[in-house]
């Protein structure tokens, strides 16, 4: 940017003197002479061994063209060359610099005439090795936009992989554009080791979506940053400039680090010339915008962008074929491919139309042709999430249509869809389930079983796993009972253990998938898997125990009676098994015990505890996790007593688990903390804390952190009342030690740990507070931002305790200290400091705050301008708090200043900030009177930004609410006279919000606003009417039964014609208004309006009127009875004789 500006200025300078085209020509000729031949240059570079900065290799890794690289290095080198002149000769005056500049221009002008279009290429620069290849390679003319040079493979003998087949479109005009995918612009000049990489990137269908999109992105960036050409420069700069040759003494420098530090030229807009620079339309002939390089024949222009990776699927579409020569089948395939492409890559509109087309025509196309194209597409590894989602949608829709026609393709579809079930992406799994569920509904159970039956005893575990999952989906779609007989048969299969394994796994998956819906079938399912516990194959026994665990987990807390038959084998199993299978059995028991009644739970816990305690010592990580989990489950059961746990479980538990090693693995850590908290809630916190409190001073930080977290959670749950003084001292001492000694980045655990302990201590914390505050103060001064932030956060935690302990002096001191730190640079830290400040102000009160509010607030005003979310949130909270409680300490002028700052806050992205801001407007208005604040806000209605205006209207409404509406309504209504659409709409909107907030207070203002609403409801602008209608709705809802019916009937007459509007927002607002008025005036009057059009000859009218009627009927049916018409049947065909029957004589009865 700077460079561009400089150059332009220079040219302006000598515009008058040197505006001679002849001189320009001369300059060019001269430049030509001075130009050393390109090849020479590059050889030179080879000899000097100058390498491009940063190493070319990583560039080529990412697949950017070596050639482009050369452009960069050259331009930067030219740039640095200029710099070097500056630096070497300080005396040199500006004119000479100008000459240099223009000299470069001259050279480049000349370059435009020569085969290569890029002017930077010709600058006399010692290029890098990369340049040599590039410059030798392109002897012929290229299009200047063409960033994907058509590489002639001969130039790069090193990389034969570059010879991607080039596909041309039907007409010759697009021959210039290289076709054939992104492989083309991969740097082909790769050092040996990367040849493979380069070859791989050539085929887009082999790349991952991430890789492809990064490639595309990179290409886009480079297109934006490409060097300027002479044509572009000529378009920007007015006539009358000449290009001056560089002086003979000019020697470009080539120090690599300079190239690194020089900024590449960004695209700057060239305003000011008489012939403005035109934005180039992207890639001639290429459909893909950012140069995807694929071309479509003329007849296919309506198709969406074709990405390189789509090529292998949609290539046939690129051929221009004569529609008449196609057979039916081919035409069909082509049609389907076109529709799929539109669904996959098209605009939302195209997508919608094509999707509907595919759905409607599904049966005509037939299942075969459709799935033959969709399924390979779905399997392609380059498919992005969004595209997969769309294709899944297609399948979903056509499945409904095809119904039984899908049967022959069930297996094919399953092969493609099943892997989705174990995808790591949650949404992929959900979509996979959805398809399989629809498929099973369309094809029926028998077909599904027939299709998946062979996979059940497949030797490949992966296939069996996905099949089991697919079966569970089928079960949830068609009902579990339908599948039970089949499962029973599978689980008793004599043929292979794999079949039994899969059968049991299906049960497990079913219970995971459907959750508590297994309960009605629990007995059947348990019986199906039961024999598996004694199976001869160990894998079957393991999966059986896991299935039982899943069943018990899904059915908790019910269904223990169904598990009766498996209890015995399970308990026998844990005695006899070892290792992995034991882990599975323990898991099952862990889930079953919580279902039992207390007595049995106690008994079975004691039974299993022996084994568990034995396994405490296991070195196996998986086993440890399961044991911990089972202990937690057993301990939390009602029947297990605290004394038993204390005596039997605790000693080995602490001995084996509370060791440093456990803190290293994340999952072990979590499980151990959870289990310990659970144990402590049974045995009381003293026993547990006593055991681990001294570990707070352990030398391993990770272990200290684990201890802190556990103690924090225990105390949060159990309180601190059981702790005696000595334990309390040890605890606080240890906590402070751990807090001070922490080094790691994870500050949250220590913070909450210490915070919880101090809060729980309450009054008992008094002796420790000076020490704690000393630590905090010390850490607030730390070099590391994290530490300062944590210290500030801790103040917010302990501030309430300071109050309880009546440490007012300490608190004031902290306030002063925090005040001094308001100059903090790191926004995260500043946010925390503001939060701490808020906590201190909250507990100490506005009156006793030090520093006094009148000093504090002016200091906050500039901070409000900070754009960081956390700072904004905390500062607005603090300011709002002060405005609410202590507004009188601050002069009105300062509050107005803050009002102006607050307007900016309305732009915040976070809703909480905007809400806090509008509330603060209310507080300020209350403090200093509404008129000034209101003037500010009304002025802000003129801004363009919608969100800002909306927030302003809310603020106006809040001001009205807090300062009584009569102070605000006149000014607001007056503002409606401003002939600005935004302002008028803003006024209506604030009225709408205001009436929503003030509720029944609104009854005093109805007659004042009716003329305004009348006017708005008759406005030509749709939004006017919409907003006015919502104002009417809110107004009406506030004042039912207060005698304002006349006004509402009047307004209803204005609202009513609008029910025929088409825009959904408008219609919604109108119906809301009508609903509001119904509440205010009663349904009878509205029924009279409605009866006029229920049987109107025009369907459009009937539709709207019936909608109103249905609303009336569902909300106030009984009230309508009194208003029903006596007869409307007259005049309808054949009605005359029925009329007597119609009359309801009871209604005529009078006493």
- The site for other proteins (CB under 8 A) is made up of 1064-1065, 1068, 1071, 1094-1095, 1099, 1102-1103, 1106-1107, 1109-1111, 1113-1114, 1117-1118, 1120-1121, 1124-1125, 1127-1129, 1132-1135, 1138, 1141-1142, 1144, 1146-1147, 1149-1151
Helix, strand, coil fractions of the chain, as percent rounded to 5: 75, 0, 25
Residues 6+ apart with CB under 8 A from 346: 303, 304, 354
Q: Which of residues 513 and 1094 has its CB atom nearest to other proteins in the complex?
A: 1094
Minimum distance, C-beta of residue 1137 to other proteins, in the bound complex (Å): 9
Shortest Å, Cβ 996 to other proteins: 9
Minimum CB distance to other proteins, residue 1006 (Å): 23
**Of the two residues 430 and 1142, which places its CB atom closer to other proteins in the complex?**
1142
Judged by CB, which is closer to other proteins: 1018, or 1147? 1147
Residue with Cβ nearer other proteins (947 or 1053): 947
**Of 352 and 1138, which CB lies nearer to other proteins in the complex structure?**
1138
Nearer to other proteins, 323 or 1151 (CB): 1151
State how far the Cα of 24 lies from the Cα of 415, in Å rounded to an integer.
70
Q: Cα(438)–Cα(426) distance, rounded to whole angstroms?
A: 19
Closest CB to other proteins among residues 836, 1070: 1070
How many angstroms separate the CA atoms of 631 and 649, rounded?
9
Q: In angstroms, what is the minimal distance from the CB of 949 to other proteins? A: 16
CB 586 within 8 A of CB 550: no
Burial letters 703-724, b for 16+ CB under 10 A, else e: bbbbbbbbbbbbbbebebeebe
Least Å distance between CB 1095 and other proteins? 6
Minimum CB distance to other proteins, residue 983 (Å): 22
Give the orientation angle of helix 621-635 with respect to helix 598-615, to 10 degrees: 160
DSSP 99: H
Q: How many residues does the chain have?
A: 1151
351's CB contacts (< 8 A; 6+ apart) are 342, 343, 390
Residues contacting 993, CB < 8 A, separation 6+: 953, 954, 956, 957, 958, 1034
Shortest distance (Å) from residue 959 CB to other proteins: 18
In degrees to the nearest 10, what's the CA dihedral of 109, 115, 120, 125? -110
Minimum separation from the CB atom of position 1106 to other proteins (A): 5
Residue 79 or residue 996: which is nearer to other proteins going by CB? 996
User: Based on CB atoms, which residue is closest to other proteins, 726 or 1114?
Assistant: 1114
CB of 608 to other proteins, least distance (A): 48
User: In terms of C-beta density within 10 A (0-12 exposed, 13-18 middle, 19 or more buried), how is residue 623 classed?
Assistant: middle
Nearer to other proteins (CB atom), residue 263 or residue 1092: 1092
Query: Using only C-alpha atoms, what is the Rg of the chain?
Result: 39
User: Do 251 and 80 meet the contact criterion of CB atoms below 8 Å apart?
Assistant: no
Hey, what are 1054's tokens?
A: 């204005």
Collapsing DSSP to helix, strand or coil, 828 comes out as: helix
Q: What is the DSSP letter of 1033?
A: H
Specify the residue for token string 């070497």.
Answer: 88
Distance CA 949, CA 932 (A): 18
Tokens of 370: 């459709």
Integer Cα distance of 443 and 292 in angstroms: 41
List of residues 6+ apart from 1108 with CB closer than 8 A: 1059, 1071, 1074, 1086, 1089, 1090
CB 569 to other proteins: min, Å: 51
Nearer to other proteins, 181 or 1093 (CB): 1093
CB of 1107 to other proteins, least distance (A): 7
**Is 558 or 1124 the residue whose CB approaches other proteins more closely?**
1124
Residue 30 in contact with residue 106, Cβ under 8 Å?
yes
Minimum distance from CB of 1073 to other proteins (Å)?
Answer: 13
Separation of alpha carbons 42 and 848, rounded Å: 77
DSSP 8-state assignment for residue 249: T
Helices 769-780 and 808-820, axial angle in degrees (round to 10): 0
**Between residues 363 and 1102, which has the closer beta carbon with respect to other proteins?**
1102
CB count within 10 Å of CB 85 equals 19
Question: Nearer to other proteins by C-beta: 638 or 1103?
Answer: 1103
Q: Judged by CB, which is closer to other proteins: 1018, or 1121?
A: 1121
Minimum gap (Å) between residue 884 Cβ and other proteins: 21
| Closer residue to other proteins (CB): 353 or 1091 | 1091
Quote the least distance from Cβ 971 to other proteins, whole Å: 25
| For other proteins, the closer CB: 799 or 1079 | 1079
Judged by beta carbon, residue 449 or residue 1094, the one nearer other proteins is 1094
Angstrom distance (rounded) from CA 521 to CA 500:
19
Q: How far is the CB of 1026 from other proteins (least distance, A)?
A: 11
In the three-class reduction of DSSP (H, G, I as helix; E, B as strand; rest coil), residue 637 is classed as: coil
| Shortest distance, position 916 Cβ to other proteins, whole Å | 14
CB of 1147 to other proteins, least distance (A): 7
Q: How far apart are CA 841 and CA 838, in angstroms?
A: 5
Choose among 388, 385, 302: nearest CA to 346.
302
Mind giving me the DSSP string for 662-706? GGTSHHHHHHHHHHHHHHHHHH-HHHHHHHHGGGGG-S-HHHHHH
Closest approach of Cβ 1118 to other proteins, in Å? 6
| Helix (H), strand (E) at residue 414 | helix 410-421
Task: Give the C-alpha separation, 918 to 911, whole Å.
Answer: 11
Taking the chain, what is the end-to-end CA distance rounded to the nearest angstrom? 96
């Amino acid at each position: 940017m700077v460079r561009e500006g400089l150059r332009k200025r220079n040219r302006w300078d000598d515009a008058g003197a040197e505006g001679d085209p002849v001189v320009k020509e001369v300059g060019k000729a001269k430049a030509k002479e001075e130009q050393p031949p390109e090849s020479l240059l590059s050889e030179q570079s080879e000899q000097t061994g100058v390498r491009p900065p940063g190493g070319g290799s990583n560039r080529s890794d990412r697949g950017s063209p070596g050639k482009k690289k050369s452009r960069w290095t050259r331009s930067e080198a030219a740039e640095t060359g200029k710099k070097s002149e500056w630096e070497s000769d300080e005396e040199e005056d500006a004119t000479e610099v100008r000459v240099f500049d223009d000299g470069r221009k001259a050279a480049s002008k000349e370059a435009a005439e020569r085969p290569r279009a890029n002017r930077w290429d010709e600058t006399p620069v010692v290029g890098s090795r990369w340049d040599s290849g590039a410059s030798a390679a392109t002897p012929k003319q290229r299009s200047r936009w063409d960033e994907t040079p058509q590489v002639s493979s001969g130039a790069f003998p090193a990389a034969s992989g570059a010879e991607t087949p080039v596909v041309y479109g039907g007409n010759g005009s697009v021959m210039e554009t290289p076709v054939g995918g992104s492989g083309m612009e991969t740097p082909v000049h790769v050092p040996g080791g990367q040849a493979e990489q380069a070859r791989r990137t050539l085929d887009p269908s082999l790349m991952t979506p991430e890789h492809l999109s990064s490639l595309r992105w990179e290409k886009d960036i480079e297109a934006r940053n490409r060097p300027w050409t002479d044509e572009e420069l000529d378009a920007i700069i007015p006539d009358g400039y000449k290009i001056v040759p560089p002086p003979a003494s000019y020697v470009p420098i080539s120090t690599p680090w300079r190239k690194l530090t020089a900024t590449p030229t960004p695209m700057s807009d060239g305003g000011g010339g008489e012939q403005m620079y035109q934005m180039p339309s992207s890639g001639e002939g290429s459909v893909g915008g950012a140069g995807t390089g694929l071309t479509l024949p003329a007849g296919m222009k309506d198709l969406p962008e074709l990405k390189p990776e789509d090529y292998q699927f949609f290539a046939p579409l690129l051929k221009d074929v004569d529609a008449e020569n196609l057979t039916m089948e081919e035409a069909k395939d082509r049609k389907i491919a076109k529709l799929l492409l539109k669904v996959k890559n098209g605009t939302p509109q195209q997508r919608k139309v094509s999707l509907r087309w595919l759905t409607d025509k599904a049966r005509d196309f037939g299942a075969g042709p459709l799935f033959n194209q969709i399924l390979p597409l779905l399997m392609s590894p380059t498919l992005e999430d969004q595209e997969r989602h769309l294709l899944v949608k297609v399948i979903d829709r056509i499945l409904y249509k095809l119904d039984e026609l899908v049967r022959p393709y069930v297996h094919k579809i399953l092969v493609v869809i099943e892997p989705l079930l174990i995808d790591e992406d949650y949404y992929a799994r959900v979509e996979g389930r959805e398809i399989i569920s629809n498929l099973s509904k369309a094809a029926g159970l028998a077909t599904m079983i027939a299709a998946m039956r062979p996979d059940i005893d497949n030797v490949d575990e992966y296939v069996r796993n996905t099949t089991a999952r697919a079966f569970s989906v089928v079960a949830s779609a068609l009902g579990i009972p339908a599948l039970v007989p089949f499962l029973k048969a599978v689980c008793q299969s004599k043929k292979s253990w794999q079949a039994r394994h899969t059968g049991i796994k299906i049960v497990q998956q079913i219970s995971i998938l459907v959750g508590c819906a297994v309960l009605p079938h629990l007995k059947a399912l348990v019986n199906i898997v039961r024999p598996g516990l004694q199976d001869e194959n160990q894998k079957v026994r393991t999966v059986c125990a896991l299935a039982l665990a899943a069943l018990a987990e899904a059915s908790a807390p019910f269904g223990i009676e169904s598990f009766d038959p498996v209890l015995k084998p399970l308990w026998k199993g844990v005695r006899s098994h070892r290792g992995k299978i034991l882990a599975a059995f323990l898991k099952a028991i862990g889930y079953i015990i919580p279902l039992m009644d207390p007595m049995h739970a106690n008994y079975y816990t004691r039974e299993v505890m022996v084994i568990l305690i034995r396994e405490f010592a296991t070195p196996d990580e998986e086993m440890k996790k399961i044991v911990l989990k089972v202990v937690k489950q057993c301990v939390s059961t009602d029947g297990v007593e605290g004394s038993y746990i204390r005596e039997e479980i605790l000693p080995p538990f602490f001995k084996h688990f509370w060791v440093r090693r456990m803190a290293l693995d994340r999952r072990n850590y979590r499980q151990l903390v959870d289990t310990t908290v659970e144990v402590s809630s049974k045995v009381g916190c003293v026993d547990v804390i006593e055991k681990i409190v001294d570990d707070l001073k352990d030398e391993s930080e990770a272990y200290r952190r684990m201890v802190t977290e556990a103690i924090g959670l225990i105390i949060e749950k159990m309180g601190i009342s059981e702790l005696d003084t000595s334990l309390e001292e040890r605890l606080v001492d240890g906590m402070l030690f751990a807090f001070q000694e922490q080094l790691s980045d994870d500050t949250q655990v220590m913070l909450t740990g210490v915070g919880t302990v101090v809060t729980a201590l309450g009054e008992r914390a008094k002796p420790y507070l000076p020490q704690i505050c000393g630590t905090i103060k010390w850490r607030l001064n730390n070099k590391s931002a994290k530490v300062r932030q944590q210290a500030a956060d801790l103040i917010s935690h302990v501030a309430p305790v300071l109050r309880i302990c009546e440490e007012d002096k300490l608190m004031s001191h902290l306030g002063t200290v925090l005040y001094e730190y308001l100059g903090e640079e790191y926004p995260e830290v500043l946010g925390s400091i503001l939060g701490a400040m808020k906590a201190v102000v909250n507990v100490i009160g506005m009156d006793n705050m030090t520093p006094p509010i009148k000093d504090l607030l002016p200091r906050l005003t500039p901070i409000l301008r900070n754009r960081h979310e956390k700072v904004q949130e905390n500062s607005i909270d603090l300011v709002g708090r002060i405005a609410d409680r202590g507004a009188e300490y601050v002069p009105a002028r300062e509050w107005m200043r803050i009002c102006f700052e607050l307007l900016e806050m309305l732009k915040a992205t976070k809703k909480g900030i905007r809400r806090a801001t509008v509330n603060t407007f209310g507080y300020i208005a209350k403090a200093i009177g509404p008129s000034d604040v209101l003037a500010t806000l009304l002025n802000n209605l003129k801004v363009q930004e919608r969100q800002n205006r909306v927030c302003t209207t809310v603020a106006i409404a809040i001001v009205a609410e807090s300062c009584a509406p009569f102070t605000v309504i006149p000014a607001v209504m007056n503002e409606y006279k401003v002939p600005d659409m935004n302002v008028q709409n803003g006024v209506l909107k604030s009225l709408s919000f205001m009436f929503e907030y003030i509720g029944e207070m609104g009854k005093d203002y109805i007659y004042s606003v009716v003329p305004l609403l009348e006017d708005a409801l008759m406005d030509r602008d749709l939004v006017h009417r919409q907003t006015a209608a919502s104002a009417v709705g809110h107004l009406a809802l506030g004042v039912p039964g207060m005698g304002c019916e006349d006004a509402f009937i009047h307004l209803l007459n204005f609202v009513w014609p609008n029910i025929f509007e088409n825009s959904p927002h408008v219609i919604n607002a109108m119906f809301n208004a009508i609903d509001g008025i119904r509440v205010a005036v009663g349904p009878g009057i509205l029924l009279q309006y409605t009866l006029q059009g229920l049987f109107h000859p025009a369907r459009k009218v009937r539709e709207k009127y019936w909608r109103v009627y249905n609303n009336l009927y569902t909300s106030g049916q009984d009230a309508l009875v009194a208003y029903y018409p006596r007869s409307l049947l007259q005049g309808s065909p054949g009605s005359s004789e029925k009329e007597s029957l119609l009359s309801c004589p009871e209604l005529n009865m009078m006493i």
